[in-house]
Amino acid sequence: MADTIHSRTATLRIEDREIELPILSGTLGPDVIDIRKLYAESGMFTFDPGFTSTASCSSAITYIDGDEGELLYRGYPIEQLAERSHFLEVCYLLLYGDLPSAEKLADFEFRITRHTMLHEQMQYFFRGFRRDAHPMATMVGVVGAMSAFYHDSTDITDPWQREVAAIRMIAKMPTIAAWAYKYSIGQPFIYPRNDLDYASNFLHMCFATPCETHNVDPILTRAMDRIMMLHADHEQNASTSTVRLAGSSGANPFACIAAGIACLWGPAHGGANQATLEMLREIGRIERIPEFIARAKDKNDPFRLMGFGHRVYKNFDPRAKVMKQSADEVLDLLGVRDNPLLQVAKELERIALEDDYFVSKKLYPNVDFYSGIILEAMGFPTAMFTPIFAVSRTVGWIAQWKEMIADPTQKIGRPRQLYVGAGRRDHVEVENRG
C-alpha cells in the first residue's frame, strides 16, 4: 500500500459499544477512515452503493481535487503536461512515476513503436464481426482474444511479463481501434509504420488507404496527442475500478483491459463523448437549447445534458478547459471555426452555467463535452469517439493494474451487501403452489 500516515482515530459508537478506527492520511486530499476491521468488531457492513464516500485503494498515480478542478498525473498538473509534454512521455510518467531522461524516453518510444503490429492471425477476429458492429464491441473481443495469442505475457506473478503486457497493450491499442474502424467502413487494414510517432501512426492507420500516399497533418497529430494525454488516467473511475477488480482475481492483463473497455462504453462514462455529439446534433440550433435545458431539469424525463456533470468535479473539469481551447484551435486551423455544433455547444455551456439548477448542483462541462466536436472535425464518425477514449485510457488502466498487482497487501475484491430479499423458506412442489 502506498505510504500513508496513521496518527489519529475515529470513534464509532453503536448502542453501548465504541469502536476505534484508524484515520489514514495520504499526500494530498481527504483523509480516510480505515474500516477493514469494522465487520469483525461490529458485525456490521458499511453501505455505499456507487462508492460516493469510499476509497477502494491507495494509489500514487493520479490526484483529483473536485472542488478546485485540479488534476495531477504523478504530481504534474494536466494543464502543463497538455501544453509541454506528449502522450508517450505521459505514458512513461504514469507507468514509472517520473518524467524520463531523454535516453529513457527514446528507449520507451522505441519499445512501444516496435510492438504496434498485431499477430497476423488476429485479423480473423475482426472479420467475424458484422460490418456495422460498434467498434467498441470489436475492441472488447479483440483485446480479450490477445490472451490467446500472447501467452508469454499473461503470468501476472512475473514482473517481466507484466512489463511486456503493458508495452504490448499501449502499443497495440491504436492498431486495434484503427482496424475496427477500417473494418466498419469496408476498407483494408493499414499497417502501423515505425517512422511515425504514436498519434500520427494512429491517424495514418485510420485515414490512409493503399491507393495513395497519405501525409498526416501535424495540426491533427498535435490535437490527437493532446486528446490522448487528457484522457490517459483519472484515479478510480468506473472503468479503472473494473480493471482493478478483474485484476484482483488474478485474471490476465488482456482480460482485465477488455473488462475496462466494456465498462467505458457506457454513456454515463466514456460513451458520453458520442452521446454528447449526438445530443448537440439533435439540438441542432441555438434556438432549441431552452427546450433541452428544461428536459435536463425535468425529474420525469430521463434525459441528461451529456458532457455535463461529474462524480468528482464540482468545478470545471480542467480537461474540458484544455479541450475547449483545442477545439477553437483545431476548427480554426481546419477552417471550420463557425462549426454550428461548436456554436451550439458554447451557447449551451453559457446558458447552463447561468442556470440555477446546474449552478446549485455544481454541474460543469466535463472532458466529454468538447472532445467529440474536435474528433468529428478531424473526420471520425461518432462511433469512434469512445474507442479513442479507450486507446488513451489504456495506459491508465495498465498503470493502475500494475500498481495493484505489485502491492503486497492486495486481496481479491469482494464487496458485501444489505440483503433485502425473502427470508428462509422451504421448497413447495409445483402441484402445491398457488
Q: Is 368 in the site for ligand SDX (CB under 6 A)?
A: yes
The residue among 314 and 337 lying less far from ligand SDX, judged by its C-beta, is 314
Catalytic option among 368, 407, 426, 427: 368
In angstroms, what is the minimal distance from the CB of 281 to ligand SDX? 16
Catalytic option among 204, 233, 310, 317: 310
In whole angstroms, what is the distance from residue 360 CA to residue 354 CA?
Answer: 10
Q: Is 366 in the site for ligand SDX (CB under 6 A)?
A: yes
Pairing assessment for the beta strands 32-33 and 62-65 based on DSSP bridges:
unpaired
Q: Evaluate whether 248 touches 411 at the Cβ level (below 8 Å).
A: yes
Please report, as residue ranges, which positions from 262 to 281 form the binding site for ligand SDX (by CB under 6 A): 268-270, 272
Q: Which of 232, 244, 240, 277 is nearest to 261 (CA)?
A: 240
In angstroms, what is the minimal distance from the CB of 68 to ligand SDX? 15
Please report, as residue ranges, which positions from 81 to 120 form the binding site for ligand SDX (by CB under 6 A): none
- Note if 356 is an active site residue: no
The residue among 163 and 347 lying less far from ligand SDX, judged by its C-beta, is 347
Q: Is 367 in the site for ligand SDX (CB under 6 A)?
A: yes
In whole angstroms, what is the distance from residue 99 CA to residue 70 CA?
Answer: 19
CB proximity list for 318: less than 8 A, separation 6 or greater = 69, 70, 71, 77, 78, 79
Which of 71, 78, 363, 388: binder of ligand SDX (CB under 6 A)?
363
In angstroms, what is the minimal distance from the CB of 364 to ligand SDX? 10
39: amino acid identity, one letter: Y
In whole angstroms, what is the distance from residue 200 CA to residue 217 CA?
Answer: 8
Which of 115, 304, 314, 337: binder of ligand SDX (CB under 6 A)?
304
Q: Is 361 in the site for ligand SDX (CB under 6 A)?
A: yes
In angstroms, what is the minimal distance from the CB of 431 to ligand SDX? 48
The residue among 109 and 368 lying less far from ligand SDX, judged by its C-beta, is 368
Binding mask 233-262 for ligand SDX (x = CB under 6 A): -x--x-------------------------
In whole angstroms, what is the distance from residue 431 CA to residue 136 CA?
Answer: 48
Return the residue nearest ligand SDX (CB atom): 309
The residue among 26 and 266 lying less far from ligand SDX, judged by its C-beta, is 266
Which of 73, 108, 308, 370: binder of ligand SDX (CB under 6 A)?
308
Q: Is 310 in the site for ligand SDX (CB under 6 A)?
A: yes
- Note if 310 is an active site residue: yes
In angstroms, what is the minimal distance from the CB of 175 to ligand SDX? 23
In angstroms, what is the minimal distance from the CB of 219 to ligand SDX? 25
Q: Which residues are catalytic?
A: 310, 368
Chain residues that interact with ligand SDX, rule: CB under 6 A: 234, 237, 268-270, 272, 296, 304-312, 361, 363, 366-368
